[in-house]
Structure 1
Amino acid sequence: MENKQSIEQSMEHVKQSVSKVLEMAKSLGAQSAEVSISKMQGLSVSTRMGEVETVEFNNDGALGISLYKDGRKGSASTADLSEKALQQSVNAAVNIANYTSVDPFAGLADKELLEFEPEDLDLYHPQQISADQAIDIAREAELTALQRDARIVNSDGANFASYEGFKVYGNSHGQLVAYPSTRHSLTCMMIAASGEDMQRDYNYTVSREFAQLTPAKSLGEQAADAALERLNPRKIATQKCPVLFRADVANSIFGHLISAISGGNLYRNSSFLVDSIGERIFSDHLTIEERPFIKRGLASSAFDAEGVKPIQREIIKNGCLQSYLLTSYSARKLGLQTTGNAGGIHNWQVSANGGDLTAMLEAMGTGLLVTELMGQGVNVVTGDYSRGAAGFWVENGQIAYPVSEITIAANLKDMFKSLVLSGNDYDLRGSIKTGSLLIEQMQVSGQ
C-alpha cells in the first residue's frame, strides 16, 4: 500500500503518459481526444469453514482513449501501460475513426462545463494490511457466525478486500485531472438448517476507511442471525397487499428510476418516463437530492467520466421529476446539457417521512416485508415490474413468520405514486442513501 506522497508521484507520472497519448493522437490527425488511465492495487482473501480458499493480489492498470477526426469517433483500450502499447492503442483508435460514420452529436464535453481544479473529497484512506491479517479478519467473521447457534451448519464463506488506486483523466481542452481513492469491504454468508429446511443469508460492510467497517465479530453475528431468521418459511396466499422493501433492497427501486431517466434510454424512446420533466411521478412527500461532493462518500466525485463537474441538485422535488441523467452525447441528442453523470450517479439522498423499520412495520400493519429480490423481471420501456421475492409476513405491525417462493408484481409508475412512506433507517453502503420504502399495494403471488 502506498502513502499519500508516493501515490501523488504515481499520479504525476501517469499524467505525463496521458499528455503523451494526447500528443500522439493530435500528431495522427485527431482534432480532439480524451484519455483516462486508472490504476488499482490491493488484496482480496476468502475463507470457508475457517480454511483459506483464495488469496489474490491485484495490481491492475487500464487506459481508454476516444478521439474524434472529421466528426468520426474511434475508441481503444489496453491493460498494458507500456509506451509501445499506448502508441498501439492510439493507432487503433485512429484506424477505427477512419471507418466509422460521421456523428454530429459525438465529441468532448463543452469546455466551460469541465472541472480544471477538482477539490479533494478525502476519498483516499490506505491501510497497511498483510495477507495474514486479512485472513484473520475474514476468518473471525466466519468463525463467530459458525459458533453463534447450533443451527448454523455451514458457510458460503467470508471475503475481505482492501484496494487503493487512482484515476487520471485528460483531454485536448487542456484538462488534466486526477484523484486517489480507497475501498475496504468485508462480507460473510452463512447457512442455517432446521430439520429438512436450509436457508442462506449474509451481511456485508464497505467503506473508504478501514476503521469505519463493521467489526468482523459483529458482522459474523449479523450474518448468522439473518440466516436463522429465515428458517422454516411459509407460503402465503396470492393477494394484493402493502409491501415494505427493507432499506438494503429498497435502493433497487431507485435503480429502476435511474435506468428510466438515463439519457441513452430517453433518446431511444426506451423508457416509460420519456418527456416527464416537471411531472409528478412520486407521492409529494418524496425528494431525492444528488450530492457529489460528500467527503469520503462511496459515490463522490469532483468530475465525471468526461471531466465534467457534477452538480448538487434535486432529481425529485416533492414528487416531481426535476432532471434527467445525461452524458454529453445523450444531452446533445436530446437538445439539452450534460448533467455530469457520465459514469453513474453521485450519492443520492432520499428524503424520509417515516421512522425506523419498527415504525414502518407498525405503519404498514399487515403486509409483506421484502428482504430479498430475485430475477430481472423489470421492463424499463413499459414500467412492468415482476420479481421473485422472500422476506417476512407482518401482522399488526409485528413480524409473524418468514415467507419464500413468492412473486411481487406491479407497474413502476403505480409503485412510484403509491410509495407512501420512506424510512429514516438509512443503508449507507452504496450510492443511494435510502431507508425502507412502503408501497401501498402490490400483487403478491404465492400459493
Structure 2
Amino acid sequence: MNKPSSRALRSASAQTSSRTSSQSPSQPDSGFSYTREFFEGLVDHALAHAKKLGASDAGADASEGCGLSVNVRKGELETVERNRDKSLGVTVYLGHRRGNASTSDFSAAAVERTVQAAFDIARFTAEDPVAGLPDEADIAPADSHRDLQLFHPWSVTSEEAARLALACESAAFKTHRRITNSEGAGVSAQQSHFFSAHTRGFRGGYASSRHSISVAPIASLPGRNGEMQRDAWYSSMRSAQDLATPEAVGRYAAQRALSRLGARKIPTTQCPVLFESPLAAGLLGGFVQAISGGALYRKSSYLVDSLGKQVFADHIDLIEDPFILGGKGSAPYDDEGVRVARRQVVEAGRVQGYFLSSYSARKLGMKTTGNAGGSHNLVLSSRLTQPGDDLDAMLKKLGTGLFVIELMGQGVNYVTGDYSRGASGFWVENGQIAHPVHEITIAGNLRDMLRGIVAMGADAYTHGAKTVGSILVERMKVAGS
C-alpha cells in the first residue's frame, strides 16, 4: 500500500537546486520598472496635495508587481503568462471621516485627481469615531525596520520555466505506469515592492518575492471500472534556491495519487481523526480567523471574549514571530506601519492575545497587536510531542480511525463553530493503513475539536505562514455509506 509518508513530505519540501541571486529593488535586473526613490516622490506628492486640500491626516502607498507563469500538460507547453501591475492608493481623513481612492496612472495630474477623489469621498462619508491612522506611539521607528531577506528575484526565462515544469510532470509519469494522465504542471516567479507613508510619521517599504512549482497527476486502475484518482503537490518559497527539485515534487504528487487508488466508502461512525499536517494548518487558520479583530467586534465569532480562556487542549502553545528570515509571514511592521513583535498567542491552551489592527482594537477598546493585514509566521506546538513522533508514530497513536489527507467544501460556521467538510483519506486499523476512503463527511464543532487535540506530530510542515505537525483529534462524526 502506497501512503504519503512524513519522510517523503519533507523530501518533497526540502530538496533544492541553485537558481537564484539577491537583488535590490533599484537594480534593473530585479525586473522592476520603478525605483524606491520614484515611489517615495510619488507618495510625498500625494500627501502634500492632501494637506493642501485640508486633510487632517493622510496616507499613501505605491506598489509594483511583476512575474512569469508557465503551464504545461502531458509533455506540451500550454500557457506562458507575464504579469505587470502598479498602483497608488491614497487614504484621506477629515477628522473621523475617511475616503480612499487609487490609480494606476503615475502622472502628477493623475496623482492629484486621485487625492481629490479620496478627499471628496471623505467629505460625504459618515463619521466613524474610531476611524483614523495609528497612534504615533504605535508606529515602528525607522531604526527598527529590519532586513528580513524577503526579496530573492528569479530571472528565469519562459524556456527555462517550461523545462522545469516538464521535468516535474515527467517525474510524476515515470513514478508508476498507473500515472496515466495529468492536469498539468506549472512554474511561477513573482516579485513586488512598495513604499508607504502617512502623516503620523511612518515611512517605509520593501521588496518581496514568491516562487513556486506544482503538478497534479492522475492515477488510474483499469480493473475497477476505470477508477481514477487525482492528487497534487507544490513547493513555494521566497527564494527559488529553496524550492524542492521538480523531480521531488513530481514523484511525491504521483505517490499521493497512487495511494488513493482502490478507495471505498465506510459506514457512518464516530472515531478519532488524524489531520495530515497541511490540513492541520487549515485548522489553525480557522482559529486565527475566529480571534481576529473584524470577527470579534462584529460578534461573528464563536471565540468572542475568549482572552485568557481555555480554547485548545492544555498541552498546546502558539507563537507568532514576524522576524523569521525569509518567512512567508515575515514583516518588519504591519500594513499600517505599526511595530510588530514576537509573542505567545496561546499558552497551555489559553488565549493570550488577539489579532488586531488599529481600527479593530479601538472598536474593542484594546491596543493594536500589529496585525493590520493579517497574522505573521505562526508555529503551533504540543508539549507532548517527542522527536520520534513522525507520521507512522501518529498513525499508531490514532489506532483505529480516519487519517484525512484532503478536505472539500466550505462547511465551517465561525459564529457557532460548527464544522462539516467533505473528506478523503485512509481508514486505519491497529495503527496501520487498511485502505483508502472517499465520499465521506467529517463533522464536529471547533470548540470540541481544538479542546480535543490529543497529540501533534513532529512531522511539522510549513504551509504558507503556518507551521504545524499532523493533529490527532480525539473524536469526530464520520458520515459514510
Same fold by TM-score, threshold 0.5 exceeded? yes
Q: Deviations over 1:219-276 (max 9, x none)?
A: 1111111111111201011010000000011111111111110111111111111111
For residues 200 and 281 of structure 1, the distance between their equivalents in structure 2, rounded to whole angstroms, comes to 36
- Which residue of structure 2 lines up, in the alignment, with residue 359 of structure 1? 393
- Tell me which of 20, 36, 44 is aligned to 1:11: 36
Give the Å deviation of 1:416. Answer: 0.7
SS in 2 for 1:305: coil
For residues 80 and 422 of structure 1, the distance between their equivalents in structure 2, rounded to whole angstroms, comes to 51
Q: Deviations over 1:174-202 (max 9, x none)?
A: 21101111111001101111022111100
Compare 23-32 and 197-206 and name the one that shifted more: 23-32
Q: Does 1:202 align with 2:211?
A: no
SS in 1 for 2:270: strand
SS in 2 for 1:351: strand
What are the within-5 Å matches in structure 2 for residues 217-256 of structure 1?
217-256=247-286
- Tell me which of 355, 370, 379 is aligned to 1:340: 370
Q: Does 1:78 align with 2:103?
A: yes
Give the Å deviation of 1:128. Answer: 2.0
Unaligned runs of 5+ in 1: none
Amino acid at match of 1:129: V
Runs of 4+ in 1 over 6 A off after TM superposition: none
Identical amino acids, percent of aligned pairs: 46
- Tell me which of 435, 439, 446 is aligned to 2:469: 435
- Which residue of structure 2 lines up, in the alignment, with residue 313 of structure 1? 343
For residues 390 and 61 of structure 2, the distance between their equivalents in structure 1, rounded to whole angstroms, comes to 42
Q: Deviations over 1:108-144 (max 9, x none)?
A: 0111111132110011112221110011011110111
Mapped contact 1:207–1:429 kept (Cα < 8 A): no
- Which residue of structure 1 lines up, in the alignment, with residue 132 of structure 2? 107
For residues 14 and 2 of structure 1, the distance between their equivalents in structure 2, rounded to whole angstroms, comes to 21
Q: Does 1:284 align with 2:314?
A: yes
Mapped contact 1:206–1:429 kept (Cα < 8 A): no
For residues 103 and 386 of structure 1, the distance between their equivalents in structure 2, rounded to whole angstroms, comes to 37
RMSD over aligned CA atoms reads 1.4
What are the within-5 Å matches in structure 2 for residues 114-125 of structure 1?
114-117=139-142, 118-125=145-152
Q: Does 1:152 align with 2:212?
A: no
TM-score (norm 2): 0.91
Amino acid at match of 1:246: E
Mapped contact 1:46–1:138 kept (Cα < 8 A): yes
For residues 423 and 111 of structure 1, the distance between their equivalents in structure 2, rounded to whole angstroms, comes to 43
Q: Deviations over 1:157-183 (max 9, x none)?
A: 111011122121110122110111111
Mapped contact 1:290–1:313 kept (Cα < 8 A): yes
Q: Deviations over 1:385-411 (max 9, x none)?
A: 011111111111111111000000001
- Which residue of structure 2 lines up, in the alignment, with residue 139 of structure 1? 166
Q: Deviations over 1:334-365 (max 9, x none)?
A: 10001111111100011133321111111111
- Which residue of structure 1 lines up, in the alignment, with residue 304 of structure 2? 274
Mapped contact 1:283–1:319 kept (Cα < 8 A): yes
For residues 17 and 441 of structure 1, the distance between their equivalents in structure 2, rounded to whole angstroms, comes to 57
- Tell me which of 369, 380, 385 is aligned to 2:403: 369
For residues 268 and 63 of structure 2, the distance between their equivalents in structure 1, rounded to whole angstroms, comes to 50
SS in 1 for 2:316: coil
Amino acid at match of 2:235: T
Pair 1:428–1:381, CA change in 2 (3 A): same
For residues 341 and 162 of structure 1, the distance between their equivalents in structure 2, rounded to whole angstroms, comes to 27
Give the Å deviation of 1:60. Answer: 1.3
Give the Å deviation of 1:2. Answer: 8.8
Mapped contact 1:116–1:177 kept (Cα < 8 A): no
- Which residue of structure 2 lines up, in the alignment, with residue 394 of structure 1? 428
Pair 1:360–1:93, CA change in 2 (3 A): same
- Which residue of structure 2 lines up, in the alignment, with residue 424 of structure 1? 458
Compare 370-379 and 31-40 and name the one that shifted more: 31-40
Q: Deviations over 1:96-119 (max 9, x none)?
A: 101110111000011111113211
For residues 264 and 225 of structure 1, the distance between their equivalents in structure 2, rounded to whole angstroms, comes to 41
- Which residue of structure 2 lines up, in the alignment, with residue 32 of structure 1? 57
Q: Does 1:168 align with 2:195?
A: yes
TM-score (norm 1): 0.97
- Which residue of structure 1 lines up, in the alignment, with residue 333 of structure 2? 303
Amino acid at match of 1:390: S
For residues 37 and 394 of structure 1, the distance between their equivalents in structure 2, rounded to whole angstroms, comes to 53
Compare 334-343 and 49-58 and name the one that shifted more: 49-58
Amino acid at match of 2:255: D
Mapped contact 2:152–2:239 kept (Cα < 8 A): yes
For residues 217 and 84 of structure 1, the distance between their equivalents in structure 2, rounded to whole angstroms, comes to 52
Mapped contact 2:39–2:194 kept (Cα < 8 A): no
SS in 2 for 1:428: strand
Amino acid at match of 2:478: V
For residues 107 and 228 of structure 2, the distance between their equivalents in structure 1, rounded to whole angstroms, comes to 51
For residues 443 and 105 of structure 2, the distance between their equivalents in structure 1, rounded to whole angstroms, comes to 47
SS in 2 for 1:139: helix
Mapped contact 2:461–2:469 kept (Cα < 8 A): yes
What number of residue pairs does the alignment pair up?
447
- Tell me which of 195, 198, 205 is aligned to 1:178: 205
Q: Does 1:214 align with 2:244?
A: yes
Give the Å deviation of 1:86. Answer: 2.1
For residues 80 and 237 of structure 1, the distance between their equivalents in structure 2, rounded to whole angstroms, comes to 60
Compare 422-431 and 358-367 and name the one that shifted more: 422-431
Q: Deviations over 1:10-29 (max 9, x none)?
A: 11211111111111111111
For residues 72 and 149 of structure 1, the distance between their equivalents in structure 2, rounded to whole angstroms, comes to 63
SS in 2 for 1:15: helix
Amino acid at match of 1:27: K
- Tell me which of 346, 354, 358 is aligned to 1:324: 354
SS in 2 for 1:34: strand
SS in 2 for 1:287: strand
Mapped contact 2:409–2:421 kept (Cα < 8 A): yes
For residues 250 and 46 of structure 2, the distance between their equivalents in structure 1, rounded to whole angstroms, comes to 48
Mapped contact 2:401–2:428 kept (Cα < 8 A): yes
Amino acid at match of 1:159: G
